[in-house]
């Protein structure tokens, strides 16, 4: 398994000189990959591979990368994309969310089939299968969704899925979903509220604890979906 990846080095491959590696280290974060390619006389692929091999990461995405992602995100898994672009899987997921790109159902089933192991049956035949839901020790409901980009052992918390459905995009990891009536398995959209991060979420709890359900709090709950960015429809 994986041997093909390590196939003999091509004769045409140029050995990296010390100055080139230094140059790469110093400029990878500040220059675009195209600029680096020109300066080093190397292909895009070669520059990206070398950088990931010596452990340097690029922070900003350039247009070529973004376009690549836009054109190929439905064809490859995030893992494959991460190898192609020399970025972490997390970074791929994050960028996809930022660009509001959701993999369509069609693409997901294709990716499933391609990955072989990831078969829908796997869940259904598992002895733990309870119609695809589970409850954890905190009382949260988890839904079997192996294709979800933020699945943890193939499950995603239901309240996050419900909010994602409402707003039409994946949630960022730092975003927090709050249960308005504090009942953790009451996952109707009317009972859910989204916070940008846990700091905002805790602030909200503190205000309620100190002052009770004041009018501003009630207004905040009522208007909670209003200031969200325009929802987009996943292209199913």
Q: Which residues of this chain interact with Zn ion, rule CB under 5 A?
A: 178
C-alpha–C-alpha distance, residues 209 and 187, integer Å: 22
Nearer to Zn ion, 81 or 171 (CB): 171
Nearer to Zn ion, 114 or 199 (CB): 199
Q: Which residue is nearest to Zn ion (CB)?
A: 178
CB 198 → Zn ion: shortest distance, Å? 9
Nearer to Zn ion, 87 or 178 (CB): 178
Give which of 114, 43, 44 is closest to 79, Cα–Cα: 114
Q: HEC string of 24-78?
A: HHHHCCCCCHHHHHHHHCCCHHHHHHHHHHCCCCCCCCCHHHHHHHHHHCCCCCH
189 Cβ contact list (under 8 Å, min separation 6): 162, 163, 165, 166
CB 186 → Zn ion: shortest distance, Å? 12
CB 135 → Zn ion: shortest distance, Å? 18
Compute the CA torsion angle 185, 186, 187, 188 (nearest 10 deg): 170
Nearer to Zn ion, 94 or 179 (CB): 179
CB 201 → Zn ion: shortest distance, Å? 6
């Amino acid at each position: 398994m994986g041997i093909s990846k390590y196939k003999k080095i091509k004769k045409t491959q140029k050995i990296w000189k010390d100055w080139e590696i230094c140059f790469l280290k110093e400029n990878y974060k500040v220059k675009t990959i195209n600029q680096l390619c020109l300066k080093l006389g190397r292909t895009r692929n070669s520059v990206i591979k070398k950088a990931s091999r010596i452990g340097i990461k690029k922070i900003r995405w350039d247009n070529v990368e973004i376009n690549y992602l836009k054109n190929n995100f439905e064809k490859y898994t995030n893992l494959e994309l991460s190898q192609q672009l020399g970025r972490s899987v997390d970074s791929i997921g994050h960028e996809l969310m930022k660009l509001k790109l959701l993999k369509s159902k069609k693409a997901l089933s294709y990716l499933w089939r391609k990955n072989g192991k990831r078969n829908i049956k796997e869940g259904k035949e598992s002895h733990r299968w309870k119609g695809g839901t589970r409850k954890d020790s905190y009382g949260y409901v988890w839904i079997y969704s192996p294709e979800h980009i933020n699945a943890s052992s193939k499950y995603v918390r239901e309240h996050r899925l419900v909010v994602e459905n409402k707003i039409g995009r994946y949630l960022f990891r730092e975003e927090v979903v709050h249960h308005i009536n504090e009942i953790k398995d009451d996952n109707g959209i009317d009972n859910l509220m989204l916070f940008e991060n846990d700091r905002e979420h805790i602030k909200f709890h503190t205000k309620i604890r100190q002052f009770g359900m004041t009018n501003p709090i009630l207004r905040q709950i009522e208007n909670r979906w209003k200031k969200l960015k325009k929802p987009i429809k996943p292209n199913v």
